[in-house]
Amino acid sequence: MSREAPGRGEPSPAIGLPASRLRRPAPPLRFRRPTEADHGPLVGLVDDWWGGRPVRRLLPRFWFRHFASTSWIAEVETVTDGGTGPPASRTGLPAGFLVGFVSPDHPDEAFIHLASTNPNLRRRGIGRALHERFCDDVRARGVARVTTTVWPGDRVAVEFYRAIGFRALDGPGTQPMYGVPAFPDYDAEGEDRAIFVRALDPIG
């Protein structure tokens, strides 16, 4: 999912907005695969990126070791002028990340576990770009659909996923919550979830 959703009644910060509401130009970005060395810096940021909510427990190191080939990091490249000293160097300001995987039990399905963007760099298309790269990755592996879960009261996340081609599952077991079909007590009592699915066109 785009983030581990909070419990019933809690607001969530945004991960991105539909393209139609983007108002700022995207900065020069570099997209790359995560490594274990990224774990410390990112896990130290995610609570702030979620408005102070403790979510770092949802991002253990193994995601960066075992799922790097289907995960992404976005960075804003900055150049440090060496002046009279060493030559200029390039560093990356964390702009966002997405961790996901192809299901070992359902190889035609992929799941987005956690994704977020730097709150100072939102509304610039970074979340959309991360998700498109993930979809391209898993499509090449024969995946037919991508799923994620969202707290139904998170209007920004709901709008975001709808804008990039996901739809909320409805039918048996769901009920309307905040205007979206959702599964009550999906992960635990009070932990309601909307399940968003995007079908992928096959390659070729």
Angle (CA) 25 100 163, round 5°: 45
Give the torsion through C-alpha atoms of 131, 59, 78, 127, to 10 deg.
Answer: 20
Angstrom distance (rounded) from CA 75 to CA 29: 6
Quick one: pLDDT band at residue 90, thresholds 50, 70, 90? Answer: low
Please answer whether residues 89 and 82 qualify as being in contact, where contact means their C-beta atoms are separated by less than 8 angstroms: yes
Q: Which residue stretches of the chain are H helix? A: 39-43, 46-49, 62-66, 126-139, 155-163
Quick one: pLDDT band at residue 19, thresholds 50, 70, 90? Answer: very low
Give the CATH fold of the 27-81+88-199 domain. Answer: Aminopeptidase (3.40.630)
With a cut of 70, say whether residue 204 has pLDDT above it: no
Hey, is 66 helix, strand or coil?
Answer: helix
pLDDT, tens digit, 9 for 90 and up, residues 97-149: 999 999 999 999 999 999 999 999 988 999 999 999 999 999 999 999 999 99
Global confidence as pTM: 0.81
Angstrom distance (rounded) from CA 97 to CA 117: 7
Angstrom distance (rounded) from CA 176 to CA 70: 32
* Mean local confidence (pLDDT), 148-169: 93
Task: Give the amino acid at 188.
Answer: A
Angstrom distance (rounded) from CA 29 to CA 124: 11
